Structures are given as C-alpha cells and as structure tokens.
Structure 1
Amino acid sequence: MKKNKFLSDLDFLIGEWETEVYNTSFLPDQSMKLKGTVLFEWFEEQTFLIMRSSVEGDGPPKSVAIISQDDTTKQYQMLYYDERVVSRIYNMSLEKDTLGLWRDAPKFFQRFEGKLSADRKTIKGSWFNSTDGKEWQHDFNIDYQKIS
C-alpha cells in the first residue's frame, strides 16, 4: 500500500507528547493539573494517523483516534473512542499555526483550538462546549510538549 500523501502536513505530530490538563470544568479544584501522554503513530505504511492518549488520575479517559483526510475536499476527520464507551467524529483543520477540531452534534457541540509553536513542538489548546452551538463555555485547557 502507498503512503497517504494527504496526511503529510501532520508529520510533525509523530512521536510522544506530554500533556498537562488544567483550568477544567470537570474537577472540583480549578487549580489542579493533570499530567498525561499522547502518542501519534502511523498505521499501515502511513495510511492513517493513530492517536493514543491517557491522563494520570481522574481526568479525561484513555482514548484512541484515527485521523485521515478526504482526497477531494481536503477535510481532515478524526474518529474518536474512549474508555467511557464514547464514540465521536470530529472535523479537523490545520492552518498555519492553528490546529482545530469541531463537532456539531445536537445538544453537545464541541470545539478545540490549539496554537502551535514555531518549531511545532508545543501546542497550547483549549476545549469549549455548547448545548446549542451559539453560546460556548470553556471546558478545559490542554498543553502538549513533544518529548520524542
């Protein structure tokens, strides 16, 4: 099978990243920080990008996602699943220094915006959610630091 050339813009993600989740709506103490890791790796000769994440303690659940891009529309998509038995499909974008994810599902809209450092080894991001897609609430911040 040939390499999926439509994913070449995401090469910088390959490897292991440390994460820090903070300023959360789901923890009783807003000052708490949760540490974790994310691993991005190629699947089947670089046909898809796989993301595996985990956080220490009682934070976001362990999850896995598969990322690809439509060859005609150039739209990235992420198929997400976590240990809570949550399965979601996100649209994804990469524009200059901003990585975006969004989901427009009835009664539970979500948005992520991550700012990339110039060397693309740090991502500072925030998640937001909404029940109607109009009024948004901050959910949590998550920072990524590449370690390998």
Structure 2
Amino acid sequence: MGKRHPALARLDVLVGRWTVHPEVEGLGAGWTEFSWVEEGRFLRQHSDAGPLPETAPLAWRENNPLPTTQLIGLDDSDQEFAVLYADARGVHRVYRMTFADGVWRMWREAPGFHQRFIGTLREDGTAIDGRWERSADGADWALDFKLSYRR
C-alpha cells in the first residue's frame, strides 16, 4: 500500500477514548473511541453507552442506536471525508465530513430525512461541543440534540 495521505493527519486529534454526554433527558454519559485501522488509512469510531436506564425516553429505549460504528475515509479529489455508519438497529448511512480549523462537520441529504452535525474542538483538544440537526426538506432545520465529547 502507498503512503498515508497527509489530509488524514487532521483527524489525529480525535484518536483515543472520549466520554460522550448527550443532552437528551434520561440519558447518561456514554463513550466513543477513535482508532486508526489499515495502517492509518481509515479512522474507526466505535461508541456505546451500556444498557439504557428505565428513565430514558421510550423512543430512545425502543430505537436505541448503540452501539454504533463509523469508518471514516478520505476522498482525495476534494479532501472531504466519507463516513460509513452502522448501528445496533441495523441502520446504515453514508455521510460527508470535513474537519478543519477545529470544526467538525458531517451531513447527509436523504429524501425526507436530512441530517447535519457540527462540533467545535477546544484549543487544548480536551473537548468537543456539538449538535445534531434534522430536516425533512433540507431547508428548514431543527435541533435534534446537543452532545459533548470530553477526554
């Protein structure tokens, strides 16, 4: 295999284990871990939270996406990343992603269900504050939930 593309180095700051705090009533902290695979050509993200408490919203308990796995790779034609996502519900999605100047963005445009994420990395690299938004038409967006990553 050839050398690792230099654009992938932008993701090095994500590597390691983070505590994830979703701002969803009834849900506690979970964790996510980023690790390089295939000699640094792909970044794997695996997340879980363990069993959900009975106080978690019914919709979350019935449709719990955890654990989740994402595989992040580079499209060197435009230096954007592609994210392959799969979760415990059997959901599979593909997102586009950028990570530059401490801002992490992911998005997908799918008929009837558009999604986007934006997270901001603190200068010291110890936290990311983010939010997921959703839209039925790609024009009118609503907050889905906020979350933070902490080392």
Q: Does 1:49 align with 2:65?
A: no
One of 33, 36, 48 as aligned partner of 2:30: 36
For structure 2, the 5+ residue unaligned runs are 53-60
Runs of 4+ in 1 over 2 A off after TM superposition: 1-6
> Which one has the bigger strand percentage?
1
Give the distance between the partners of 1:34 and 1:8, measured in 2 at CA. Answer: 31
TM-score (norm 2): 0.86
Retained in 2: the 8 A contact 1:123–1:144? yes
CA deviations on 1:72-121 (whole Å, 9 max, x unpaired) are 21111111000100000011112312111111111000011101101122
Q: What is the aligned partner in structure 2 of residue 66 from structure 1?
A: 71
Q: Which has the higher contact order (CA 8 A, sep 6+)?
A: 1
Q: Does 1:136 align with 2:141?
A: yes
For structure 1, the 5+ residue unaligned runs are 25-29
Give the distance between the partners of 2:142 and 2:48, measured in 1 at CA. Answer: 24
Q: What is the aligned partner in structure 2 of residue 9 from structure 1?
A: 10
Q: What is the aligned partner in structure 1 of residue 21 from structure 2?
A: 20
Q: What is the aligned partner in structure 1 of residue 150 from structure 2?
A: 145
Retained in 2: the 8 A contact 1:50–1:67? yes
C-alpha displacement of 1:62 = 0.9
TM-score (norm 1): 0.88
Letter in 2 for 1:68: G
C-alpha displacement of 1:60 = 4.2
> Structure 1 vs Structure 2: percent identity of aligned residues?
35
CA RMSD of superposed structures (Å): 1.4
The residue matched to 1:61 in structure 2 has which SS?
coil
